[in-house]
Amino acid sequence: MPSYNAPVRDMLFVMYDVLNMDAYKDLEGFGEATPDVVSAILDEGAKITQEVLQPINLSGDEEGCHLANGVVTPPKGFKEAYKQYIEGGWGGLTGDPEYGGQGLPYVLGVAMNEMCCSANFGFSMYPGLTHGAIDAIEQHGSKEQQEMYLPKLISGEWAGTMNLTEAQAGTDLGLIRTKASPQPDGTYLVSGTKIFISAGEHDMSENIIHLVLARLPDAPTGTQGISLFIVPKFLVNPDGSLGARNKVVCSRLEEKMGIHSNATCVMNFEDAVGYLIGQPNKGLRAMFTMMNAARLGVAVQGYSMSEVAYQNAVAYSKDRLQMRALTGPKAPDKPADPIIVHPDIRRNLLTARAFNEGARAMAYWTALQVDIARRHPDATERQKAEDLLGLLTPVAKAYFTDMGFLTSSMCLQCFGGHGYIREWGVEQFVRDARIAMIYEGANGIQALDLVGRKLPANNGRALMEVFFPEIGGFCEQAAADPELAPFATAVLGALEHLVDAGQWLMENGMKNRDNAGAAATDYLYIMALTTLGYMWIRQVKAAKAKLAAGEGDPQFLNSKVILAKFFVERMLPDTAAHLAKIKGGADTLMALPAEAF
Amino acid sequence: MPSYNAPVRDMLFVMYDVLNMDAYKDLEGFGEATPDVVSAILDEGAKITQEVLQPINLSGDEEGCHLANGVVTPPKGFKEAYKQYIEGGWGGLTGDPEYGGQGLPYVLGVAMNEMCCSANFGFSMYPGLTHGAIDAIEQHGSKEQQEMYLPKLISGEWAGTMNLTEAQAGTDLGLIRTKASPQPDGTYLVSGTKIFISAGEHDMSENIIHLVLARLPDAPTGTQGISLFIVPKFLVNPDGSLGARNKVVCSRLEEKMGIHSNATCVMNFEDAVGYLIGQPNKGLRAMFTMMNAARLGVAVQGYSMSEVAYQNAVAYSKDRLQMRALTGPKAPDKPADPIIVHPDIRRNLLTARAFNEGARAMAYWTALQVDIARRHPDATERQKAEDLLGLLTPVAKAYFTDMGFLTSSMCLQCFGGHGYIREWGVEQFVRDARIAMIYEGANGIQALDLVGRKLPANNGRALMEVFFPEIGGFCEQAAADPELAPFATAVLGALEHLVDAGQWLMENGMKNRDNAGAAATDYLYIMALTTLGYMWIRQVKAAKAKLAAGEGDPQFLNSKVILAKFFVERMLPDTAAHLAKIKGGADTLMALPAEAF
């Protein structure tokens, strides 16, 4: 049976020593988030995820969800776990205090999401989707809608979903056909079929609030004619009590590669009562607000799987005795050495860990931008944070999930044949991790979003005025510190590759947009590696400062330095290869006619 | 439902145009293997794999195997398919004619294995394991054993297995505990438990011939004390008829990530009657003979999965309409363009295809070395082939299976959300592909075999006297041909990286063997990419020759040139990154004490 230990120490190190969250204590919600309080919250989070969610992860995968007469039942133990989760107030950690939330920094929500996902990916998606619905209603709903839905969504008594995809409309939401007909009372009747709806139906919460993209009659074609609707499973009476069952049903559960414990539903709307949220025909914009947060959530899923896979692979590698070390026996009293003595096993483990801890730092840094963008009094700071967020979100979503799948698979490899066997649990992490590369915008789309939208926006302001000065400035300072110089030099080299790639894009992506499309994923990888490198120097700097001050656990802090070295020696060299690939351009990619494939 | 079209045209192109198999017509078995005959055989192979094996692939995955009272039943349709397979004589394609085989070149066996695996990985393992047993008995059995077992194994009436792994002994076969006690009649009683035994028990063949590693009483400890035994499921009477049921039973089927249609058995031997094969205490050597062929078989599994995943991803990408091309609508009469217009979709597809077709050429080239090593009259040629085979086998096994998993996953990505859904079948390819990285020696072990054993053997003879002259010589000649020069220059660059990496290993791997262990996988990757590059130039050369002669399908031949360009521009640049990682050395990898993981 796999196990999970929430990496609370590393979370706190990132928040307070690396990102210096203390410095933001004047922001709303940050004042309460002292190290002591946050430490206590994370410890409680560790408890519920380790003791309640993790033990039903493997069994949930085995059992899957059940559909009978339109009712979906999650695997054994999920309903009880969900009850504990909402009773613990976990759904409302970062929610608006006006509606019962605790108003804590978004960073904390990300940390909790990470723990839930590492412990039980399938479970974590139920509250995860609710957060998406909360975001949409908070930002686009009327005051009345907010008052009606937010308290119960934030408490978790009600759950939420996002209904976007249709059979013919995945990436291309402009092709959506679901219709919404206005009624004399100001409501709409929504009809259509949505597919791949995560947590679309279940009996864990009293109600489910579906957010649904649909077209008004005579709406313009394409993405300009899509509106967003609230369609509750049970209609809500003016006093907040539940009314009639709405005409939205789950007609089918999908059989999938993984995340079996989460219900992936085909949802049929047949004249279901819906309420317009935001402006008519502006639904896609509203949906994107909520997808940005969702994308950061998915990014976290990527390294969460890698984290739990790493932990279990480490335990196995310390325990499993096979062969002698290349340099002679290390456990001569045993029939063989533990496999953690072998360099190639360590290469697998350290790749996962250098990614996990780099990604965690980058995820929290990104989440901090959400907090700054929402809560900072200074408009310039808010804009800088927005700019950074725009760049970092697609990078984190695509790179973290690509890598999470890959490094989970590397961790599986440490188990040898046992890795392929269900009961060891690590193959589930790999199967579960695979979905994150696809949903909330497939990773290729993230790369296009970065290169085609985020880079050129405002004449490249985000990159030129925020990203480069931040990372370049830090590295140049660090290069003057002998202890940090080797790291800084390496990251400045990667930054140079990023600049070079950007230059190439400017020169070639404009005159032939296929060149931009062909370069997008490799560009995203260079940016990801550069950002992770930056995060690693900041971790080294923080670790060295603590060591110098005689604070903290020296082994933990020294490990940071080793991992940063590993990252520089074994992962960062890929930026040069990505740059070379970019410069290959699009001509060869586009040369074959479709029929020659 | 996924589909499969056997790539017979490409197989023939590789065999006759690239590898010039005609030139070997004086070798035993090659005289009959004219292009016409081979073409007819491959067409028949395409038929049975496409029409019989492929249609039961998805259902076989869903249903899995059943165990009741020690009897294992494969999924519906498998028994009938197996009957057709052996009635078609497919089991004996390359078998010794003295025992009823057709004696055709080994290359043909590899091609048939590829088709079987692409069509139905789980099925292909049943005859695949039999081939391992045939090899062992052919090369190490007594004349009497060969006469008793080979005819029925070659015909497929009986199946074979390899019983190596025990709970405590996976990579480290020196830890095996299964015992064999000699009896007065010259037989042995074998007792012990073996795990992860593929095709260990089933009811598709009349008998199953288990090849079992066990220890004689008072055998030396470690790998020097292991012997190999034949343990038939049913004892065989002197007249060849079946006698008593032997005391070997399947006590359990493993639940796995994939290859559900193949029975992965825990096998209990309780005083089962066995027969020593080969010399006492020399069992491991005998087993390795048979594992070398098995490793090439597994290498083929790697690109086979990628091939079928590619084919289905292409079909989907031509059919699926989402978004407009970056350069403007390509199908203005449709609601959106087929996604094959998007560069990033093509990047995924072409990575898979450039790998598949490069790997196929390299696999057949490697298989040709098996034929030369076994059949060439000139001892020097035989030794050169053996040397090359020793290098290429671990490279193909590890690189093809790592890549096969990765590129199958890239093909899944083209399907978006549908890729994650069972009924589309592509997620099965990814799950099935994952095992090939593990069994027959985990890929990390292949890298150690290459760097620690194959490179230094005979003072580096294989590399210095065969591999480098072959590839370097060809590329230098090609560099003088303006049409081949750009490819040759690129591959010579990769070869330089390989030389540089070898130099580094010489200087650093001797004084600290962990440096060799830390470099092994990256070294293997450089060698794989270099060899694939060589294969791509040979394909371009052959394609250009045919185009110049006005032979063949120009679109097919021109595609070879495009794919070679793609390989050089988008895959070969990785050699520099691997070299940089090698030069990182082992110090950082080994710096953390086990408890700091």
Name the catalytic one among B63, B440, B465, B595.
B440
Q: Which residue of A has its CA nearest to B521?
A: A344
Is B242 in the A-facing interface, judged by CB distances under 8 Å? no
DSSP class of residue B263 equals: -
pLDDT of residue A289: 72
How far is the C-alpha of A339 from the C-alpha of B393, rounded, in Å? 24
Beta bridge partners of A276: A229
Interface contact flag, B577 A577, Cβ < 8 Å? yes
Q: Which helix (H) or strand (E) holds A207?
A: strand A207-214
| Best CA proximity match to B164, nearest among B59, B44, B291 | B291
Dihedral pair phi/psi, residue B158, rounded to 5°:
-110, 150
Token readout for A460 is: 């490249």
Widest CA span in chain B: 84
How far is the C-alpha of A176 from the C-alpha of A215, rounded, in Å? 8
How far is the C-alpha of A581 from the C-alpha of B350, rounded, in Å? 13
Token readout for B352 is: 């898979």
Q: Which residue of B has its CA nearest to A330?
A: B594
Report which residue type is found at A262: N
Dihedral pair phi/psi, residue A218, rounded to 5°:
60, 20
Q: Which helix (H) or strand (E) holds B371?
A: helix B343-375
Interface contact flag, B345 A439, Cβ < 8 Å? no
User: Between vectors from CA A280 to CA A279 and to CA A284, what angle results, nearest 5°?
Assistant: 80
Chain B nearest CA to A457, separation (Å): 17
Token readout for B124 is: 């292909």
Whether the Cβ atoms of residue A212 and residue A231 lie closer than 8 Å to each other: yes
- Helix then strand then coil, in percent of chain A rounded to 5, is 60, 15, 25
- A410-427 CB burial, b ≥16 within 10 A, e <16: bbbbbbbbbbbbeebbbb
User: Best of A320, A511, A569 to disrupt the B interface by mutation (most B CBs within 10 Å)?
Assistant: A569
Bridge pairing between strands A158-163 and A242-245: unpaired
Return the beta strands (E) in B513-580 as ranges: none
Q: How many CB atoms lie within 10 A of CB B69?
A: 5
Whether the Cβ atoms of residue B397 and residue B443 lie closer than 8 Å to each other: yes
Interface contact flag, A596 B340, Cβ < 8 Å? no
Q: Which B residues in the span 182-201 are in contact with A, Cβ-Cβ below 8 Å? A: 195-196
Whether the Cβ atoms of residue A263 and residue A72 lie closer than 8 Å to each other: yes
- B534-557 CB burial, b ≥16 within 10 A, e <16: bbbbbbbbbbbebbeeeebeeeeb
CA distances from A365 to A360, A362, A369, A372, B299 (A): 8, 5, 7, 11, 42
How far is the C-alpha of A534 from the C-alpha of B122, rounded, in Å? 46
Whether the Cβ atoms of residue B323 and residue B330 lie closer than 8 Å to each other: no
Burial class (CB in 10 A: 0-12, 13-18, 19+), A55: middle
pLDDT of residue A291: 79
Q: Which A residues in the span 433-472 are in contact with B, Cβ-Cβ below 8 Å? A: 434-435, 437-439, 442-444, 447-448, 452
pLDDT of residue B118: 98
Taking 50 as the pLDDT cut, the residues of chain A under it are none
Nearest to A165 among B417, B556, B586 (CB): B417
pLDDT of residue B285: 85
Is A581 in the B-facing interface, judged by CB distances under 8 Å? yes
Beta bridge partners of B266: B252
Interface contact flag, B345 A444, Cβ < 8 Å? yes
Which residue shows structure tokens 């699926």? B320
Beta bridge partners of B335: none
- A444 contact residues in B (CB cutoff 8 A): 342, 344-345, 348, 413
Q: What's the mean pLDDT when you consider all of chain B?
A: 97
Interface contact flag, B581 A596, Cβ < 8 Å? no
Q: Tens-of-pLDDT digits for all 597 residues of chain B?
A: 899 999 999 999 999 999 999 999 999 999 999 999 999 999 999 999 999 999 999 999 999 999 999 999 999 999 999 999 999 999 999 999 999 999 999 999 999 999 999 999 999 999 999 999 999 999 999 999 999 999 999 999 999 999 999 999 999 999 999 999 999 999 999 999 999 999 999 999 999 999 999 999 999 999 999 999 999 999 999 999 999 999 999 999 999 999 999 999 999 999 999 999 999 999 988 888 777 788 999 999 999 999 999 999 999 999 999 999 999 999 999 999 999 999 999 999 999 999 999 999 999 999 999 999 999 999 999 999 999 999 999 999 999 999 999 999 999 999 999 999 999 999 999 999 999 999 999 999 999 999 999 999 999 999 999 999 999 999 999 999 999 999 999 999 999 999 999 999 999 999 999 999 999 999 999 999 999 999 999 999 999 999 999 999 999 999 999 999 999 999 999 999 999 999 999 999 999 999 999
Is B1 in the A-facing interface, judged by CB distances under 8 Å? no
Token readout for A284 is: 């896609």
How far is the C-alpha of B463 from the C-alpha of B501, rounded, in Å? 13
pLDDT of residue B291: 79
pLDDT of residue B292: 78
Whether the Cβ atoms of residue A215 and residue A225 lie closer than 8 Å to each other: yes
How crowded is the C-beta side of B178, counted as CA atoms within 13 Å? 33
User: Between vectors from CA B44 to CA B43 and to CA B47, what angle results, nearest 5°?
Assistant: 90
Widest CA span in chain A: 84
Beta carbons within 8 Å of A536's beta carbon, 6+ residues apart = A354, A358, A361, A487, A491, A563, A564, A567, A568
Is B573 in the A-facing interface, judged by CB distances under 8 Å? yes
Number of A to B CB contacts under 8 A, please give it: 263
Is A317 in the B-facing interface, judged by CB distances under 8 Å? yes
**Calculated CA dihedral for residues B291, B293, B296, B297, nearest 10 degrees:** -90
The question of whether B201 is a catalytic residue gets the answer no
